[in-house]
Amino acid sequence: MKTYESGWENKDGIKFYLCGWEPNEKPKAVVALIHGHGEHVGRYTHVADVFTKAGYALVGFDLRGHGKSGGARGHAPSYEALMDDIADFLEHVIKRYPKLPIFIYGHSLGGNLVLNFILRRRPNVLGAIVTAPWLKLAFDPPVVQVSLARVISKIAPGFTQHSRLDTNALSQDAQIVKAYNNDPLVHDQISARLYLDMYDSGLWALEHAAEFPTPLLLMHGTADRITSNQASREFAEHSREKVTWRTWEGCYHEIHNEPQKADVLKVMLDWMDARLKKK
């Protein structure tokens, strides 16, 4: 496996960090990764190891306000800014791999972004893989909390507070949780604006799920206490023939970091291989 680092600076002066992993031979396709809230692409090295051994390149970038990218931690000025960041990222992917099929892979907050990006921007990708998307949280936030966030987002949109994430709900593997808690690039900040954008865009995606234009592998653990398995099921039911829906019994939020991760990643690879054969 070969690794490279790159990046870009956008029109607003935000510097973005990008990392790519490539097989030693020419890749048969490239997977563009959008990570979850509070984390960074460096947490997917083990996924890259499996993907590259199967002949796929994996490329990801740290979202604004995350990891090694610039921007206030846990904040974005608008949802459209996040959509633009993904568009810039895909431009890099296309430039580096101009003739390769592209799959886009999003987890959690990244899953929300991927579903919305495909619905709103209609990128030329062969397929999408989405795990545990933040369409809804696994619990219903109090109405007063959402209302308060709307007020704060108008007065001080960049105001951040702790997300109060239960890190024990990420994975049943204690070493994964320990590594996450000790990772200096991880943060638990979220602004009122970003929270509301994710809340509203999740509901919007559910309302427009029947319009989803791209083959989709959608997977969620049944024991996820962070994002809603039921909301993912609802999206799958509305998307009908476009989606391959898979639940993972007893799995927590990060199914790619669960004890069953080898099986999870194999399902991803088998699904992408099948899409390539149909190309």
Backbone φ, ψ for residue 22 (5° rounding): -125, 145
Judge whether 138 and 202 are in contact, CB under 8 Å.
Answer: no
Task: Please give the pLDDT value at position 16.
Answer: 98
Average pLDDT, the chain: 93
Question: What is the reported pLDDT for 192?
Answer: 85
pTM of the model: 0.94
- Per-residue pLDDT, 201: 98
pLDDT in tens, 83-107: 999 999 999 999 999 999 999 999 9
pLDDT digits (tens, 9 = 90+) for 19-60: 999 999 999 999 999 999 999 999 999 999 999 999 999 999
Rounded to whole angstroms, how far apart are CA atoms 115 and 273?
Answer: 21
Domain that holds residue 242: 2-278
* Position 203 pLDDT exceeds 80: yes
CATH at 168: 3.40.50.1820
Residues 6+ apart with CB under 8 A from 268: 105, 129, 217
- Average of per-residue pLDDT across 64-79: 96
Integer Cα distance of 138 and 229 in angstroms: 7
Spatial neighbors of 217 by CB under 8 A, at least 6 apart, are 127, 128, 129, 130, 243, 244, 246, 267, 268, 271
The reported pLDDT for the residue numbered 153 is 61
Q: What is the number of domains present in the chain?
A: 1
Query: Which of 253, 254, 34, 38 lies closest to 162, judged by CA?
Result: 38
Per-residue confidence (pLDDT) for residue 92, from 0 to 100:
97
The size of the chain, in residues, is 279
Dig out the tokens for 232 from the structure. 């993912």
Residue 78 Ramachandran class (φ > 0 left, ψ -120 to 50 alpha, else beta): beta
What is the pairing mode between strands 56-61 and 15-22? antiparallel
Q: Could you identify the residue written with the tokens 């994964």?
A: 176
**What are the residues facing 246 on neighbouring strands?**
219
Please tell me the distance from the alpha carbon of residue 11 to that of residue 236, in angstroms, as a whole number.
Answer: 36
Say if CB 109 and CB 36 are below 8 A apart: yes
Condensed to tens digits (0 to 9), the pLDDT of residues 208-222 reads 999 999 999 999 999
- The whole-number pLDDT of residue 278 equals 86
How much of the chain exceeds pLDDT 70, in percent? 92
Confidence of residue 144 (pLDDT cuts 50, 70, 90): very low
Which residue did the predictor score with more confidence, 93 or 193? 93
